[in-house]
Structure 1
Amino acid sequence: MQTHSQKTNPDSNRPNILVVDDSRLQRRILCASLNRWGFNVDEAGSGPEALEKCAANPPDFVISDWMMPGMNGPDFCQAFRAMERDSYGYFILLTSKSEAVDVAQGLDAGADDFLTKPVSGDELRARLNAGERILRMEQELVDKNRLLSSTLEELQALYDSLDSDLIEARKLQQSLIKERNRRFGDSEVSLLLRPSGHVGGDLVGFFPIDSRRVGLFAIDVSGHGVASALMTARLAGYLSGSSADQNIALFEGEFGIYDALLPEQVAERLNNLTLDEIQTETYFTLLYAEVDLISGHVMLVQAGHPYPVIQRADGSVESIGSGGMPVGLMPDASFERVECDLDCGDRLFIVSDGVTECESPDGKMFEEEGLRKTLANNRHLKGQEFLEAVTWDLHQYAEEREFSDDVSAVLFEFTGPKRNAD
């Protein structure tokens, strides 16, 4: 014989419903209707008994009477809401109360809906259908949130792995600069490279051409991140100071002695290599200079890079250069050579736009005026101490915020003709 808590037409996809009422007759009436509709039905005669059943088998719906001895419907609802469960439980209160204050009390306790006794079968069925729609939406949200959480965990794992790789990539990028400082007789070259993120697109360096000349270069690849960093690594190989036969600025002359292309020829060659061999959308700015360590004569090419400056021994500052087009934008681009002379005590300072375009919190750029002030304020410092002071000034200007662009610089300090040049 079938009991009132069993279903006539079982359907495993239908919700589980718990009917709670201290009246056995009322429970049987409700359960009979619910069984006919194909729900999984259970019942309890009190709030405490219902809580035990909810703990053992959490229902999808609870239909509870308001007026029950011991624990009334709102109190039971509040206890039901406090239970831990994986999915939402839809709670319907049965009541003869219709005052707004009573409805508010039920809502405060956590009820989702109300039915007035005696219960109309059609109305109950409509309320359950509405509740099913809400539970389906809630389950969809739970499933999507679970999928989202799982995806976020996977992304976090990938990010952690990528972050670790980028940290190593930054170390490798920093290793592209074999030396941060070198003396050539009494003159000295010092380098600064401070990527704004893990890896960046700036590159600075130098290489000896022969016993009396040195090549200096500063590069700023467009964009940021891995692609720019890979490009700088490629360019570092083209301007290698450790392998003259791979350095595109050098060529082997008579008797196996290496000589250097003119600065504008170096820019043209890099331009052709970028467009013909590398074939990338990336371009870069370049400042390449050749310095005579005996005479102090400088030949340079400026290809879209910020204007280099000379700080004279008396502290005065002058900009040099001719602007020019970046490398890797147009085939057959031409570049103009600029020449100047350094006297004893003068220094040549080449910076990236990460210096001149460093922003204060209100968006004002450092620009050439800020660079001139920095040079004036730190004119007594030399080498790496000077570069550290420049970096400190930029941090102060940005009010300790992270730099929005890579910061790089080349400092050449000329202290007179190099001896024993031959």
Structure 2
Amino acid sequence: TEGLPTTILANAASVLPDLTHAVDALFTPNATAKARGGPRSGGSGVLLGSVLAPEHGFRGDKQAGHGGGNATTDPRTGLRVYSIYTKTTSEIVDIVTNKAKAKVVLVDLQDAGARFYTYIWTMYDVLVASAASGAQIKVVVLDRPNPLGGEAPDGPVLQSNFSSGVGKKPTPMKHAMTIGELALLFNDEYVPLEKESGGRKAWLQVVQMQNWERRMRFRDAGLPWVSPSPNLPTLASVSLYVGTGLVEGVNLSEGRGTTLPFELIGAAFLDWRFADRMRQLSHQDPGLSQVRFREAYYTPTFSKFANQTCAGVQIMGDEGEADGIRVALQLIMQAREMYPTKFAWVRSGSRFWIDLLTGSDQVRKGIEAGQTLDQIAAGWQEDLDWWKGMAQNYLLYH
């Protein structure tokens, strides 16, 4: 792929260990560049001519659900930036081949380890576009660590009839794979099944990491954590997000609009009793032993309960050690039990958002039926075992 016109799917967290942005490292304006926006090579040998942006935009300044303008110019480099967030296969093919005039797409995105974090699905869309193009678009994934480690997949596996932008193909909530490993699995198992691909796979190469091991948490890799999206500022927020992201599916605040997103959970209709209940549970449920709950009050500046005082909890624990899924489901179950006339599931059109986040209606219906958390978890175990068996074929690291 060296010497071919190239674009890069990147965002604010696409940095080298010294915090130089990958785009700045690959791109250096020089006197031989023939036209503004044309491919230019730094010392890397990569002819970088444009940037593709996922959700939250290239420079990471957009909130959830926004990918930035369809076509803008990056002030620092002068490169054209094309948002491909929520774009169709044909639109992505057109952007890459006709607008970006690229033959190679580099993918350099920091994942959060959660199925409903959209970057892996934007990568999936690029793989489908490559297959649809008859491999005229070549995809090179630059692998990065899974901040949650790679040892323990967990949570419900998405059922195909619950496919959406927060999960397109059967994958557990906590997938325990790197973005490069996911690319390999997606390309073999799912891409050929898309009608746009015509049974073909993408042209794919994964550039592996050196010295990463599955047991590692992000801090063990010795790399700086750069927020990959506005509401995952710290490793503490990331370790909980794989679970507390589910709070988006109910009418509780997940801490957006505060300095502790996904660590603060509350609502204007909760009170001190909720914190007492969670603190009591933390001594009774072994699955909550890695976290502590602090009674907390806060006023979000945007999102749910904006400018209203919320009561709730701050979840505190060692980074990467919490069972975020179990913590979140206990929070949701207790809020529903304690405040039955105020608690509600959030709808997304005709569907419940919690169903799209969990990947089926099993969790919601289990809660409504009064099942215990252990009973609900037992309901996803068979599908999770199936996933583990399949995923083993695509692991690049020990």
Q: Please report the TM-score for the alignment, with normalisation by the length of structure 2.
A: 0.25
Q: Please report the TM-score for the alignment, with normalisation by the length of structure 1.
A: 0.23
Bigger strand share: 1
Query: Larger relative CO (CA 8 A, sep 6+): 1 or 2?
Result: 2
Bigger helix share: 1
Larger Rg: 1
